[in-house]
Amino acid sequence: MKKGLFRKATAFAVAAAMLAGISLNGVSSVEAASISEKKARNIAVNDSRARNSDVMAIDIYDNTVRGQDVYTVTFYEQHGSEESRKFTHYKYHVNQDNGTIVARSHRDLTVISPKQAIKKALDKAGVSSSKVKNKDLDYGADDGNLVYNISFSVPVSYYNYSYDVYGDYYVRYFSDGTCDYNFVINAVNGKIIDWDSDEDYYDYYD
C-alpha cells in the first residue's frame, strides 16, 4: 500500500473510533467521562455538609431529570439524642457525565422514639416486655421511608398429650423453644409496614 493511502486509512479509522465512542486504548470515551456511584454519593453528601458518621440509609439509582442522565442519591442525616432523635432527608440528582448537581431538596422529619416503636411491636405480638430476649433495633429505609427494624425472641412452651386409639392411656410431653419476631415500623408515623414470626421447638417426654 502506498504511504498516502496508508495515512488516509489510519486517519479514517481514528475518526471512526472517535465517532463510535472508542479510544485508541480500547476504553470507551463515554465510559471514561462518566462518574461512579461512589463519586455521586460523595458529591451529594459533601454538598449537604452532613457528617459521614451521621449519614445513613443511602440509596443511589439511575434516573433521568430535565433531559439529563443522573444518579438520584437519597439519604438521611440524624440529629439529637437517642430518645429525641430527628432526621433530615436529602435527595440529590447528580449528572452522570460531569458530576454537576442538577437538583437538590431536603426536609426535616420528627420520628417516634425507639421505646414507642418497640411497644408497638410488642403490642402487635401480644407479648410482655419482661419475656423478651435478644432484642435488637436499628434504623433503615424501606421504599424511601425511614423505618425501625426490630427483632426479638420470646421463650414458648406447651404441654401436649397423646392418647392410644382406645383412650386407655396417654403420654404427656413438653414442647419448649422460642418464637422469633421481626418488625418493620415506619419511624415517622409509627405504622407497622411488615412483620413475621417463626417458632422453633424441641420435644421431650414426661
> pLDDT digits over 137-185, tens only?
998 888 878 999 999 999 887 666 666 656 566 565 566 788 999 999 9
Are 101 and 158 in a shared domain?
Answer: no
86-90 long-range contacts (CB < 8 A, ≥24 apart) are 86/110, 86/111, 87/111, 87/146, 87/187, 88/50, 89/146, 90/44, 90/48, 90/50
Are 120 and 96 in a shared domain?
Answer: no
pLDDT in tens, 178-199: 899 999 999 999 999 999 999 8
Are 196 and 169 in a shared domain?
Answer: yes
Are 123 and 200 in a shared domain?
Answer: yes
Between CA 113 and CA 137 the distance in angstroms is 11
Could you list the residue range(s) of the whole structural domain that residue 13 is in?
A: 1-32
- CB contact at 8 A, 140 and 151: no
Total domains, the chain: 3
Are 103 and 161 in a shared domain?
Answer: no
pTM of the model: 0.66
Between CA 101 and CA 43 the distance in angstroms is 8
Are 119 and 194 in a shared domain?
Answer: yes
Are 63 and 126 in a shared domain?
Answer: no
Are 138 and 194 in a shared domain?
Answer: yes
Between CA 164 and CA 95 the distance in angstroms is 75
